Copies of this chain bind each other. A is one copy, B any other.
Amino acid sequence: MENLKENVAIILPENGLEAKLKLAEKEQRKLRIKLGFDPTAPDLHLGHAVVLKKLKQFQDLGHQIVILVGNFTAQIGDPTGKNKSRQPLSAIQVQQNAETYINQLSKIIDVTKAEIVFNSDWLDSLPFSEVLQLLSKVTVAQLMHRNDFNKRFTENMPIAMHELVYPILQAYDSVQIKADIEMGGTDQLFNCTMGRQLQETNGDEPQIVICMPLLRGTDGKEKMSKSLHNIIGLTDSPNEMFGKTMSISDELLEEYIVLATDFFVAEKNNLKEQLKTENPMIIKKMVAKNIITQYHSVNDAIAAEEFFNNQFQKKNDDNKLFVSIAKSSLMITTSSVVEICHQLKKDSSKTAIRRLIESGAVQVNSIKITDPLEEVKLISDTKIKIGKRDFFNIVNDTE
């Protein structure tokens, strides 16, 4: 039980999981554990992995994972604020995305043992009269309690009527699937709770809701998300994974140790302890190698570290950009890529450097940057590569 609750942010109701597990034992059956996804952006990343690893724990205990592909809703398109509807995906695109997604899932869970269902199976043919029956079970005020709806409503940002229907459909999926548990990130709490409500209205035992914490993106933003360009993808190459992990700020490191690595709890605690005294770069490299080992192999992890180090081997003062960084300052100084490169290559004009960046010739910590105005954090040991041969290293001259 302690293992099952590791890292969990919310369980609803509080002792519901124990009760469900007892019930399953008594009835000698597997629990049905639902994970839903909209096949719109099929690239899985370390944020998804937090939830998937928890799912894997249940699968290893013999329970039944049910992967719900929200292909019905994906075909409609979910507008994200400001009247700007997302282009609906074609059925073929949705199908391809679902396949990609399921392939990626197999990096963490045993897909062959999971039940994979598509909600178009019951939503496509749902008669309008039954849609209205379904809608009659939920009030507007209830939906307006969802944080994002509430914020948009009070700030006079438009909410299209069909957006309000989404949580109800997700809840209806739980009824159809007969879910014992629904899993998701903490941002799914509202929708999963609505599933409990519809199951109860339907006379079924309501599902337990298990929410995992949201891993922040490599930029430190609230949530790792493809649309925020701050993800470490499960299918990223080892070198990409290494570079991206090295690029995270030190304050994110503890979160990544806890949520992104598969060290044992004791090892994680040990690493967190070391963070207080050790150079964070050393621990960041351990985290990066652990991540690569999970999704590729140990050898890939070692090779990636070597590549990273070699790339920045040629270390002399000419190739260092000295900046003053107060070691424990909460302020992080940033500068645009074009500015940094101009500092490093004073003989080139800013226009020339701008073109160079736009042509894709500049990398920061192994990540290609094509926007000259993109802000880069001036963190010690940040690696800048300009063209094929010029490597630079940002050095904190207060150290």
Interface stretch, picked from A49-57, A128-136, A223-231, is A128-136
Does A156 sit within 8 A of B, measured CB to CB? yes
What B residues does A137 contact at CB under 8 A? 160-161
What B residues does A161 contact at CB under 8 A? 135-140, 143, 164-165, 168
What B residues does A149 contact at CB under 8 A? 140
CA gap between A158 and B141 in the complex, in Å: 7
Q: Tell me whether B124 and A139 are in contact (CB under 8 A).
A: no
Does A271 sit within 8 A of B, measured CB to CB? no
Does A322 sit within 8 A of B, measured CB to CB? no
Task: State how many angstroms separate the Cβ of A194 from the closest Cβ of chain B.
Answer: 11
Does A85 sit within 8 A of B, measured CB to CB? yes
Q: Tell me whether B132 and A159 are in contact (CB under 8 A).
A: no
CA gap between A125 and B79 in the complex, in Å: 25
Q: How many chain copies? A: 2
What B residues does A136 contact at CB under 8 A? 76, 79, 85, 160-163
CA gap between A298 and B50 in the complex, in Å: 84
- Number of residues of chain A lying within 8 A (CB) of chain B: 35
- A43-87: CB near B (< 8 Å → 1, else 0) gives 000000000000000000000000000001001100100000100
Q: Tell me whether A131 and B131 are in contact (CB under 8 A).
A: yes
Q: Which of A136-189 contact B (CB under 8 A)?
A: 136-141, 143, 149, 153, 156, 158-165, 168
Which of B127, B132, B140, B162 is the one whose CB lies under 8 Å from A132?
A: B162
Q: Tell me whether B139 and A159 are in contact (CB under 8 A).
A: yes
Which of B75, B76, B140, B153 is the one whose CB lies under 8 Å from A164?
A: B140
Additional pairs, 11, CB under 8 Å, beyond known A75-B129, A124-B129? A123-B128, A126-B128, A128-B131, A132-B165, A136-B163, A138-B161, A141-B158, A143-B161, A161-B165, A161-B168, A164-B164
Closest 4 CB pairs of A and B: A135-B162, A135-B161, A136-B162, A132-B162
In the assembled complex, 13 residue pairs joining A and B whose CB atoms fall closer than 8 Å, in A order, are A76-B129, A123-B128, A124-B127, A132-B162, A135-B161, A136-B160, A136-B161, A140-B140, A140-B159, A143-B161, A161-B165, A161-B168, A164-B164
